[in-house]
Amino acid sequence: MKVLVQRVREAHCRINDDITAAISHGFVLFVSFRDGETGKAIPWMAKKVANLRIFDDAEGNLNRSLKDVAGSVLSISQFTLEADARKGNRPSFTQALAPTQAHPLYDQFNHALSRHGIPVNTGQFGETMHISLTNDGPVTILLERNEDNDS
């Protein structure tokens, strides 16, 4: 499981001409699952995201979490995080979990995150989305949890 975290001042998801989800400050999360994943990493990842200390404290140090700043999340399914572009110029997506399996895991992750007291807004799984965001910092962190070795 991979989650690309971007600290934002604001963000929204647009499908066609409609804004379907929006947040003020918090995180935009781009979430992917690798072929063979079962969801075992979801509780760890939700806890990590909820407690990730990447907001400034009074001294300007990255020492406050999403919960500390009353932030929210815009969660976007993003199978392209599993792209393999080592050969040629056209990425391969064969390592991405099939949509029929990834969709329930994506929903489980968002629910697990909300159980940590985080307001979670989502894009629409499988839809073409236009994501607009104002990155704050910028601060962007890739979190990854491998079910095989738990690292």
Q: What is the mean pLDDT of residues 9-20?
A: 96
* Residue from 30, 33, 79, 109 carrying the catalytic annotation: 79
CB atoms within 10 A of CB 62: 13
Q: Is the pLDDT of residue 32 over 70?
A: yes
| Whole-angstrom distance, CA of residue 27 vs CA of residue 151 | 23
**pLDDT single digits (tens) 49-106:** 999 999 999 999 999 999 999 999 999 999 999 999 999 999 999 999 999 999 999 9
* Residue from 78, 101, 134, 140 carrying the catalytic annotation: 78
Is 79 designated active site?
Answer: yes
Is 20 designated active site?
Answer: no
CB 50 within 8 A of CB 6: no
* Percent of the chain residues topping a pLDDT of 70: 98
| Whole-angstrom distance, CA of residue 123 vs CA of residue 37 | 21
Q: Is the pLDDT of residue 121 over 80?
A: yes
Residue 147's pLDDT band, with cuts at 50, 70 and 90, is: confident
> Of the candidates 84, 85, 98, which has an alpha carbon nearest to the alpha carbon of residue 37?
98
Q: What is the mean pLDDT of residues 103-115?
A: 98
CATH number of the domain located at residue range(s) 2-144 in this protein:
3.50.80.10
Q: Is the pLDDT of residue 151 over 80?
A: no
Q: What is the mean pLDDT of residues 117-125?
A: 96
The domain limits of the chain are 2-144
Q: What is the mean pLDDT of residues 112-135?
A: 96
| Whole-angstrom distance, CA of residue 12 vs CA of residue 111 | 19
* Residue from 38, 80, 124, 134 carrying the catalytic annotation: 80
More confident residue, 148 or 134: 134
Q: Is the pLDDT of residue 149 over 70?
A: no
Query: Tokens representing 145?
Result: 């949890």
> What is the amino acid identity at position 45?
M
> DSSP code of 149?
T
Is 78 designated active site?
Answer: yes
Report how far Cα 120 is from the mean position of its chain's Cα atoms: 10
